Amino acid sequence: MHPVIYAGLTLCLALVVCAQSPSCPSLCTCVLHDRSNSKGLRTVLCKNPALTAIPIDLPCDTVKFRLERTSVSRIFRGAFSAMPELLYLWLTYNSITVLHPRSFTNLSSLHELRLDGNLLSTFPWEGLRDVPRLRTLGLHNNRLARIPPLAARYLGNVTYLDLSSNRLSTLPNDLTALWPLSDATQSQRSVVLGLQDNPWVCDCRLSTLLDISKAPESSLVLLDQFLTCSEPPDLAGVPFQSVELTRCRRPYAVTSATKITALLGSNVLLRCDATGHPAPTIMWIKSARPNLYNQACCKQMQSSIDSRRLPRKLSGYVHESPRVGIRWSAVSLNGISYKDAGEYRCRAQNMAGISEAIVSLNVVGIMAEYANSKNSGQQQTVAKSNYSQRKPKQKSKAIPSLLPRNMTGKPSLPKRVIKIPKASRD
């Protein structure tokens, strides 16, 4: 049977069984803990080697589900969807090798997920989107050899992460960037991290983690403070606190300006300088669109705004400085329009870490189409007003003139002539 069909039938059957009665599945033990508000907390424990699949008749009101030391090897899509109130999910010391990316659907309240002691070589990090309230993730004693950079997108809210006893040799810079070197008293929350018993390669890729381990006080708390290197050979067995990577320097990016206001249709050059060792690579990213709601002239131009998905990479050119470890990059924007406004990020990255600098571009001016439409509207308004002023004169009746036809201009009033007698002329 196809896995998707099997998962759908499993979910439907589980909902039907759960709607009938919250009975305890076979080969499992159910315990109901009473609370003062007359609502119980149900715990289901399935601990039988004969169990090869997740039971389908799990009670809907389950708050804690424990699957331990069974023969379960695969977790299908929506395997726990029938338990929307689940807070704790422990799948420890089984034979799990495959987790479906949608294994945790309908578990928006899940707080703790433990997968210790399984056979996982990969983990579906994108599946953590279905558990936004997750705070504890345990992956101790598996076979993980690599953590992809995208994992950092879904671990921002996790405060306890156990990656100990795996096969990890390094961590991506995107992940270590989640734990800045800040004082624990100033940070809003602390993160507990388990990294012991891994074959760490102490090179520039691990420089951020090495700095964290040396910090006297940090928002990151290591379960084992005495982490050691496995490679290179000259650093094998050396504690993290004693490692000095003199040729590693995390990048530092800076832009020529943080805010730019440019005229519509002009040309803009965005420049960014970066330092680090090894010499960092530079990449430009447009990360945000402009806010046009406060610009009256632009409300009609929303259709002209770039609708492509953000963030997105931009093409720019990179130049090497004569000095070692220094590079600069520029992006040329010619004939800018409203769609070019927004936030631009310059990201510098090397083996030692990541650094970003932000430039905000604001475009001012009125588009020709809007100006023409505005002028034409004004002309139409003036024409209507002139027409309305002339209209009464056309409707008035013509008054016949008493002047001769060959007379033009306004008629002058007749002059009064006074006759003086001849005797009194002197």
What's the helix, strand, coil split of the chain in %, to 5?
20, 25, 55
**Reported pTM:** 0.66
| Tens place of pLDDT per residue across the chain (426 aa) | 555 455 455 545 444 445 444 688 888 999 987 655 445 689 999 999 999 999 988 999 999 999 999 999 999 999 999 999 999 999 999 999 999 999 999 999 999 999 999 999 999 999 999 999 999 999 999 999 999 989 999 998 999 999 999 999 999 888 887 876 655 444 456 899 999 999 999 988 888 888 888 877 777 888 988 899 999 999 999 999 888 887 788 888 999 889 999 999 999 999 999 988 888 889 998 887 665 544 445 544 544 455 566 677 887 777 766 666 688 888 899 998 888 898 999 999 888 778 889 999 999 886 555 555 555 555 555 555 555 555 554 444 444 444 444 444 444 444 454 554 554 443
Exposure b/e, 265-303, CB count within 10 A at least 16 = b: eeebebbbbbbbbebbebbbbbeebbebeeeeebeebee
